Amino acid sequence: MASSTGGESRGMRLDAWLARAGLASRREARGLIRRGAVTVEGEICRDPARHVRDEVVRLEEALVESPAEGRDFLLHKPIGYACSRDERESPRVFDLLEADVPRRRDLLIAGRLDRATSGLLVLTTDGDLVHRLTHPGRKLPKRYRVGFDGELAADAVPRARAGLLLAGDERPTRPAELVIEGPGRATLVLREGRTHQVRRMFRALGAEVTTLHRDRVGDLDLPADLAPGALRPLSEADRERLLAEPGSSESSL
Ligand code: URA
């Protein structure tokens, strides 16, 4: 994984540039580049990792507009908003965008949160990014700060690590890191994203979640200065942190 520091000053990878311009998924972009369909400053470039910033990029001779920041967003989801397109579920996270961003039908949510959950949420037009953030095979760590009522089982930590078979599921949960922080407070790192997973796991371990907040995905922390309800464009450095290889954030629990 490329270093996130300096990523922006060097510009953006060519495959990311095409994807962010909405012309292709990142994988398709790599194919187009390798096939010789893309020029940088008039020269065919077959290297998807080539960084571009101010150069003229063309795809099959058509100018590719600079994918200025603003297509992808990092949102501090407040409690009470639904991760849904359905207007009957208002208020929805999309209602928070109106002041800042034109209403966009093509924005996707990469890893939903329950209405009663707050925290880091990625909104993007890049289906490839959604796939990479949510595919269980990638085992991307997601960190949750949990408030709970009741007594967790004495062996809750090893049981979470071993995996729990939750009601209605066919397979046990993937190994999860549970840290009891104090009375009624815990941190849980999951590497998958089943529906209501944290709440169901706590219930299986004897307690009821009262507050839930996601403050980290991959190696990206929810910025301390991003207030609930606020959003900011997702930078290239943010994307690299989000997709940091599993294991690189192990020590940050
Ligand atoms: N687990 C839950 O129970 N809810 C969320 O919103 C996210 C993870």
- For ligand 1, residues with CB inside 6 Å are 113-114, 117, 196-199, 212
pLDDT under 70 in the chain at which residues? 1-10, 66-71, 98-105, 245-253
| Residue type, position 234, single letter | L
Does residue 97 lie in a domain region? yes
Query: Could you list the residue range(s) of the whole structural domain that residue 162 is in?
Result: 141-217
Rg of the chain on CA atoms, in Å: 20
pTM score, whole prediction? 0.74
Does residue 248 lie in a domain region? no
Over residues 29-88, the pLDDT tens digits come to 999 999 999 999 999 999 999 998 778 889 998 888 766 545 688 999 999 999 998 889
Does residue 252 lie in a domain region? no
Does residue 131 lie in a domain region? yes
SS3 of the chain: CCCCCCCCCCCEEHHHHHHHCCCCCHHHHHHHHHCCCEEECCEECCCCCCEECCCCEEECCEECCCCCCCCCEEEEECCCCECCCCHHHCCEHHHHCCCCCCCCCCCEEECCCCCCEEEEEEEECCHHHHHHHHCHHHCCCEEEEEEEEECCCCCHHHHHHHCCCCCCCCCCCCCCEEEEEECCEEEEEECCCCCCHHHHHHHHCCEEEEEEEEEEECCEECCCCCCCCCEEECCHHHHHHHCCCCCCCHHHC
Query: What residue owns the CA closest to ligand 1's atom 7?
Result: 113
Does residue 251 lie in a domain region? no
Domain boundary among 63, 80, 112: 63
Based on the fold, state whether residues 39 and 56 are members of the same structural domain: yes
Based on the fold, state whether residues 90 and 201 are members of the same structural domain: no
Distance 103 CA to ligand 1 centre (A): 26
Based on the fold, state whether residues 238 and 207 are members of the same structural domain: no
Does residue 49 lie in a domain region? yes
Over residues 203-217, the pLDDT tens digits come to 999 999 999 999 999
Catalytic residue among 47, 95, 114, 221: 114
Based on the fold, state whether residues 172 and 211 are members of the same structural domain: yes
Based on the fold, state whether residues 131 and 226 are members of the same structural domain: yes
Based on the fold, state whether residues 147 and 208 are members of the same structural domain: yes
| Residue type, position 132, single letter | R
C-alpha 65: how far from its chain's center? 25
Based on the fold, state whether residues 152 and 27 are members of the same structural domain: no
- 114 counts as catalytic: yes
The count of domains in the chain is 3
Based on the fold, state whether residues 130 and 235 are members of the same structural domain: yes
Ligand 1 atom with the shortest distance to the CA of 117: 6
| Token digits of residue 156 | 């809750």
Distance 234 CA to ligand 1 centre (A): 22
- Residue 231: which CATH number? 3.30.70.580
Does residue 1 lie in a domain region? no
